[in-house]
Amino acid sequence: MWLPSLASVWSESAWLRAWRSGIGWRGLVIGALAVAGLWAAVVLDLDPRDLVPGPGGLAQGKEFLSRAFKPALTYEADFVPEGTQPLPFKVLKAVRTTVIFAAAAISLAVLGGLILGSLASTAWWFEDPAGGSTRLRRVFLRSVAPVVYGGTRVLISLMRSVHELLWAVLFLAAFGLSNFAAVIAIAIPYTGTLAKVFAEILDESPREAAAALRAAGASPAQVFLFGLLPQALPDISAYAFYRFECALRSSAVLGFFGYPTLGYYLAASFENLHFGEVWTYLYALIALVLVVDWWSGALRRRFVA
């Protein structure tokens, strides 16, 4: 009994000393993360020397980086079939396809996110006074609503726990190279992420207008649609635009699976060591993201203001 007691006293005093010295919970969490990171590095046998390239890799890396200042405006292949469209038009077509995939996916994701996010929010059922005015409504609020809320929370967690690339692999194996499968592969995890964030935005929105409508005798649907949703729409719109930027990058990456987005042509050029073309596609992707970031930022400022 003496040894455990001494260990307990030492442990408690060590924690108290750490707390009083100003470390606090944040410092303890950061320290725990640092220890976990060091432990993971030891377990994985990480060695910085593995990042030192060999002579061939170093030469190829220098060639690749040097072409960043000379992106290709024409094809670098020795033979180009007659009738092939010029490289700039091919790049613009790939950009257009990338935007179409992303727009289709985010449209489905926003619609699904609004529906699931509303069901995953407590705003539509938890604060109803006296548990409802009728027996049927009281049964619904006490029995059905918590089940719907919990089930929806589980569903959106499952949807966002699988990355869009894994969804793409599954759909590619099941349905082949289908455009609709690619859109759904992006839309499913994005729907889960949007639903989670939308639910949190609804739960944290001001409730004064909703309380006034509820006190005036408005129905739960009226309270939600006219008292809660308008308060949350600016933040919902802002986050939806941010996810559209992410969807553009996901759409480009799906090109590595064979879909005709920027990633497809980028991967093909890299495999053929046409580094100038690689940088052309990379710059097109960077320009696309910058333009959408500027556009969505302007819209977010207008909605949130």
Name the more confident of 203 and 16: 203
The three-state secondary structure class of 1 is coil
Say if residue 93 is in the same domain as residue 41: no
| Nearby residues of 119 by Cβ (< 8 Å), 6 or more positions away | 148, 149, 152
In a domain, 56, yes or no: no
Q: What six digits make up the tokens of 103?
A: 């727009």
Q: Which DSSP state fits 85?
A: P
Instruction: Find out whether 276 and 70 touch, Cβ atoms under 8 Å.
Output: yes
Say if residue 18 is in the same domain as residue 146: no
In a domain, 273, yes or no: yes
In a domain, 67, yes or no: no
In a domain, 208, yes or no: yes
Please give the tally of structural domains in the chain: 2
Residue with token string 């548990």: 131
Which segment of 95-109, 133-147, 223-237, 278-292 scores lowest on mean pLDDT? Answer: 133-147
In a domain, 172, yes or no: yes
CATH code of 253's domain = 1.10.3720.10
Is the predicted pLDDT of residue 6 greater than 60, yes or no?
no
Give the Cα separation of 192 and 195 in Å (integer): 5
Which segment of 61-65, 162-166, 194-198, 256-260 scores lowest on mean pLDDT? Answer: 61-65
Say if residue 188 is in the same domain as residue 126: yes
pLDDT of residue 305: 59
Say if residue 210 is in the same domain as residue 264: yes
Residue-range definition of the domain harbouring residue 19: 2-51
In a domain, 64, yes or no: no
**pLDDT tens, residue by residue, 197-236:** 999 998 888 777 777 877 777 777 777 788 788 888 888 8
What angle, rounded to 10 degrees, do the helices at 229-253 and 208-215 form? Answer: 130
Supply the DSSP string of 96-119, one letter for each residue.
HHHHHHHHHHHHHHHHHHHHHHHH
Say if residue 179 is in the same domain as residue 228: yes
Give the Cα separation of 19 and 25 in Å (integer): 8
In a domain, 72, yes or no: no
In our burial notation (b when 16+ CB lie closer than 10 A, e otherwise), range 111-141 reads ebbbebbbbbbebbbeebeeebeeeebeebb
Which segment of 42-46, 123-127, 234-238, 288-292 scores lowest on mean pLDDT? Answer: 123-127
pLDDT of residue 23: 61
Give the count of beta carbons closer than 10 Å to the beta carbon of residue 69. Answer: 7
Say if residue 40 is in the same domain as residue 146: no
Confidence of residue 258 (pLDDT cuts 50, 70, 90): confident
3-state percent breakdown (helix, strand, coil) of the chain, nearest 5 = 80, 0, 20
Instruction: Find out whether 191 and 113 touch, Cβ atoms under 8 Å.
Output: yes
Q: What six digits make up the tokens of 2?
A: 């003496």
pTM of the model: 0.78
Say if residue 287 is in the same domain as residue 201: yes
Q: Of 191, 195, 182, 163, give the one whose Cα is nearest residue 100.
A: 182
pLDDT of residue 194: 95
Say if residue 104 is in the same domain as residue 195: yes
Q: Which DSSP state fits 124?
A: G
In our burial notation (b when 16+ CB lie closer than 10 A, e otherwise), range 29-67 reads eeeeeeeeeeeeeeeeeeeeeeeeeeeeeeeeeeeeeeb
Q: Of 187, 122, 129, give the one whose Cα is nearest residue 148.
A: 122
In a domain, 74, yes or no: no
pLDDT of residue 293: 85
Supply the DSSP string of 233-298, one letter for each residue.
HHHHHHHHHHHHHHHHHHHHHGGGGT-SSHHHHHHHHHHTT-HHHHHHHHHHHHHHHHHHHHHHHH
Name the more confident of 154 and 53: 154
Which range among 218-227, 233-242, 263-272 has the greatest average pLDDT?
263-272
Confidence of residue 97 (pLDDT cuts 50, 70, 90): very high
Q: What six digits make up the tokens of 34?
A: 């640092």
Is the predicted pLDDT of residue 133 greater than 90, yes or no?
no
Say if residue 115 is in the same domain as residue 30: no
Share of the chain above pLDDT 90, in %: 32
Say if residue 33 is in the same domain as residue 149: no
Say if residue 42 is in the same domain as residue 146: no
Say if residue 173 is in the same domain as residue 33: no
pLDDT of residue 130: 37
pLDDT of residue 228: 81
Residue with token string 């950009």: 95
